[in-house]
Chain A
Amino acid sequence: MSTVTPRPAVSTTVRDAPRHAPVIPADRWHEPPDSLAITAEVLRAFRTHGWRYTEQRSDRWHYLILRGHDQSAAYKLIGPLFDETGSYYQGHRIA
C-alpha cells in the first residue's frame, strides 16, 4: 500500500523583486574589482564614489572606462544578462 504525501505548499505571497545588491563594499569603491555585474545602480554608485565613466565600442563589444582617484580602469562588457531581478552587464576588467 502506498501513501500519499501532501505536496509542500507553495507560497503565493507577493513580494517585490529584490534589487541588485551592492557589489562593492562601501569602503572599497576606490579599487575597481576584476569583475563585477554592472547595472544602472552600479553606475550611479561609481559616480557617487568619485568616478567618471565613458563608453567605447569596438566591433561588437562595449567597453566601460572609469576615471577617478588618480587612476583608470577599463571593463569589457558582456550582456545584457539576466539574474531574475533584471538585466545587467558583466564587466571584465582588462586594464
Chain B
Amino acid sequence: MTIADGWPTAARASAAARVDDGALPPVLHPLLAARWSPTTFDPSYEVTAAEVDAILEAARWAPSAGNSQPWAFITGRRSDPIHARLTRHLTGSSAAWAPSASLLVANLCHRYVEDTDWEYSEFAHYDLGQAVAHMTLQAQALGLHARQFRAFNRTALAAEFAVPQHWEITTMSAFGRLPPGPPAIPERAATEPRPPRHRRSPRDLRWVPGVGTTRD
C-alpha cells in the first residue's frame, strides 16, 4: 500500500461506503501527503532567519504534558559557525549528506531534574517528538524538507555545546530545499518520479479488542 497508488484512493472508497450525504470523504492533508525525508539538499540555498524563527515557533506551540515543554534546540544555518560545529560530530551516513542541509538542528530533551536522576517528565521524549513533528510540517509549509536522524556522536556533541547531563541531545533534524538538478551523490533527482512510499495497511493501525493487531 502506498501514498502514491493506494492510500488516498482506499480512504476515499472506504469513506464513500460510509458517507451517503454527499459530504466529501476525508483525504490526507497535502502537507502530510507530500512530506518525505530526503538525503539530498540544495547546497546553494540559504535558509533565512525568518524561516528558522517560524520553524522554532512551530515547536514552541506544540502540545506537551502539563505544558512542561521539555525541549530545546541548537540551530545552525549553513552560513554560521554553529552549523560547522554541528557538522563536525555527524557520523556514519549522515556525515555524507547532512552537511548540505541549509539548517541543522539538534533536538534536546529535558530528561532529568538537574543534579538528580529523577525523570523530568515521563512524556519528555514523546513531547519532543511531537515538537519536532510540528517543526517538520512548518518547514514543509515553507517549501523546505526535513530529515530526522540519529547518526551523530551524542557525547561529543553534548560536550561541544556544554549540554548538562539532565538534558539529552536525542536526535537531529536537517532542513533544506531539494536540489534543482541531479544531486551530487547518487540519489534520485527531485524532478524524477520517486518510488512509491510504503506503509503498513490502515488495518494494521487498529488494535482490535480481544484480538490485538495484525502486526507481529
| Partner-B contacts on A (CB < 8 A) | 17, 39-40, 43-44, 55, 62, 77, 79-87, 89
Contacts and interface: CB of A to CB of B under 8 A. Distances in A.
Contact of B118 (A17, A62, A82, A85): A62
A67 to B, nearest CB: 16
Contact of B114 (A40, A62, A82, A89): A40
B122 interface: yes
6 contacts: A39-B113, A40-B116, A62-B118, A80-B118, A81-B66, A87-B65
Contacts of A17: 67, 69
Contacts of B116: 40, 43, 55
Report the contact-size class of chain B (Cβ under 8 Å from the partner). Answer: 10 to 19
Given A17-B67, A86-B68, 7 more contacts: A43-B113, A81-B66, A82-B67, A82-B121, A85-B67, A87-B66, A89-B113
A3 B120 CA distance: 49
B117 interface: yes
B121 A40 contact: no
Contacts of A84: 66-67
Contact of B120 (A43, A55, A62, A87): A87
A77 B116 CA distance: 13
A43 B115 contact: yes
